[in-house]
Amino acid sequence: MSDTMLHRITVDTAVCTPIVNVIQLRGQVASVKKAQAIIMAKIPPADLFHVNKGMTVTVFPVTTPQHIYEGHITGINAHTAQVSVHLQPGDTALEAAMATTLRLRWEDTNHMVAIPAQAVIYDKRKRKSFVMVFRDRYNIDKRQVWTFKSLDNTSYISGGLDEGEKVVSTDQQLIYDAMDR
């Protein structure tokens, strides 16, 4: 690998981290009193066991998605599969019956190897995912990986890569194409 190319690429280390999960729900503002809002949302019964009282929720009003609010789950009704969310007091542009999107995030107890999502190369022709494993400037390997899931800018790898290995995460497509010739 040339010095120019070596300075262009970014190398990241695969780390073992808890798997982050996200649920998005549709909700509706039930009431607004003294700059505090209560939002009700239906939750799929299969996801009900992930939700706990006190869990932090990010709320996005449908009409004004640029306004982002933080709140906490204050009630869970397992019979109707509903959760109630109280937003923290403050300036709020929310009104009763306004539609919202709620985002719940939590870390799983399971850990998995995680790398930047842009490090994964999907080869449409082969229908497989690959990463470029960096050992040194003279040793870069093309390796097939199995992606468990990608969330935000992180891909969780279920096979093909071990913790501590280094992967190329910028300009890796150039190296992949050169090796594929």
Residues 172 and 100 in one domain: no
pLDDT of 95 higher than 80 = yes
How much is the average pLDDT of 53-68? 89
Q: What is the CATH number for 149?
A: 2.40.420.20
Residues 35 and 58 in one domain: yes
DSSP for 79-146 reads TTTEEEEEEPSS-----TT-EEEEEEEEEEEEEEEEEEGGG-EEETTTTEEEEEEEEETTEEEEEEEE
Query: Could you identify the residue written with the tokens 């709140």?
Result: 71
Residues 68 and 126 in one domain: no
Residues 117 and 90 in one domain: no
pLDDT of 133 higher than 70 = yes
Q: Compute the CA torsion angle 37, 71, 59, 118 (nearest 10 deg).
A: 170
Residues 42 and 94 in one domain: yes
How much is the average pLDDT of 55-63? 91
In the chain, the number of structural domains is 2
Model pTM score: 0.76
Query: Could you identify the residue written with the tokens 């539609």?
Result: 99
Residues 95 and 120 in one domain: no
Q: How far is CA 151 from CA 20, 96, 157, in A?
A: 8, 32, 12
Residues 43 and 89 in one domain: yes
Residue 1: predicted pLDDT: 63
Q: What is the span of the domain harbouring residue 135?
A: 3-18+110-179
Domain-terminating residue out of 56, 72, 107: 107
Which tokens is 140 given? Answer: 């870069």
Instruction: Give 126: exposed, middle or buried? Use CB within 10 Å, 0-12, 13-18, 19+.
Output: exposed
Residues 82 and 159 in one domain: no
Domain-terminating residue out of 51, 85, 107: 107
Residue 89: predicted pLDDT: 67
- Main-chain dihedrals φ then ψ at residue 161, nearest 5 degrees: -145, 140
Q: What is the CATH number for 90?
A: 2.40.30.170
